[in-house]
Amino acid sequence: MLPLQGIRVLDLSRLLAGPFSTTILGDLGADILKVEALPKGDLYREAAPFHGGESVSFLAVNRNKRSIGIDFRKEGGLDLVREMADKADVVVENFKPGTMEKMGLSYETLSARNPRLIYASVSGFGRTGPYGHLPGVDQIAQGMSGFMSITGQIETGPTRVGVPIGDLVAGMWTAIGVQSAIIARNSTGRGQRVDTSLLGGLIGLLSVQGQRYLSVGEVPEVAGNHHPVSSPYGVFHGSDGPFNFSASTQAMWVKLCKHIGMEWLLSDERFTNSSLRRDNRVELERIIDERLKQRPRDEWIKEFRELGMPAGPIYNLAEVFADPHVASTGMVETIDHPTIGALRQLASPLKLECFAEGSVRRPPPRLGEHTQEVLSELGFDPARIDRLMHSGVL
């Protein structure tokens, strides 16, 4: 049995942050009812590139869901959504704050009808505060969270992370919040509001860098491809390309110096302990890099691993998915899609016994594919469903 089996989620979200959260919940067994606004559905359905006529962006974050198409603009559309919320355990939405209220779908409205309802919202800046009314997207949140200020090369300055980490992290926090609220409801019998934001989600990930500022007033700067407080740790170069390794403990430091034939570094007063290596890391890493350039990267990686030091290549995505370890850990699963055929998808990184048959159980849905099926399951009268379909609400 899957952990969230029996939990019904009314997913009103679109694009990335909200759908990523419901993908996580769906992987864990929740029944995700993805309500899409007709006539076009989730905005991600129109995002290039396309695979077999389907948006790759949409495919990425909409597995394990069923799609219900509703025209919110037509009479009876929003009434239907409210009635569906009456029968749901969770509602997830990522509209700009205030939009749900304008549609008559506020937390207060829906929870008054269904006190057990968990109502999860994710937005750019959250519901409150001076920026609560502003639209927010990933790169704005990356910049305002401080993430860009500590990412990139010294020569080029602040750099965005290569994936929309603000959206993805907000989605993860939302999924954690929903599951926490489900556990709380088991004790209290009542649902609650769950609220997070792209900005808050990223600030919550600052971890050591954030604590450095809060505790000792240090403002971390762009660290490039080397660890900001530990050395040697980062990107180095073999004769045929770059790779990563870490020799950050004293024991590893000693092993490294002996193995690469640079024992003299052990007695150099600039590098005798971790604090000194940190203070002089630019020069230390230059010295080590010159030595490592004399041999191929894969030889160094193999030898460093044998010494118990973390080391690995820097892959592009083709190399990631060709790696035998990645293949053996089941990070890619294949499912049959009605228009694409065999569709490969990223699997859940969670390894649970209940995932014995995989985490990707249902392909991303076509727009409105499950409308009649879901409404019938929820107990709506067949004659009413027919009327709504003929009037264009469905």
Q: Please, is 154 exposed, middle or buried when counting C-beta atoms within 10 Å of its C-beta (0-12, 13-18, 19+)?
A: exposed
Q: Based on C-alpha coordinates, what's the Rg of the chain? A: 25
Q: Provide the CA 36 distance to its chain's centre, in angstroms.
A: 21
The H-or-E segment that residue 35 falls in is strand 31-37
Please choose, from the candidates 94, 23, 37, the residue with its C-alpha nearest in 3D space to the C-alpha of residue 65: 23
Q: Are 60 and 343 in contact (CB under 8 A)?
A: no
DSSP 3-state of 334: strand
Q: Are 123 and 97 in contact (CB under 8 A)?
A: yes
User: Is 167 among the catalytic positions?
Assistant: yes
Q: Which amino acid is at 265?
A: L
Q: Are 198 and 124 in contact (CB under 8 A)?
A: yes
Instruction: Give the Cα separation of 54 and 50 in Å (integer).
Output: 5
Instruction: Give the Cα separation of 363 and 7 in Å (integer).
Output: 19
User: Distances from the Cα of 201 to the Cαs of 27, 214, 220, 322, in angstroms?
Assistant: 21, 18, 19, 32
Q: Are 33 and 9 in contact (CB under 8 A)?
A: yes
Tell me which of 89, 138, 167, 195 is the catalytic residue: 167
Residues with active-site annotation: 167
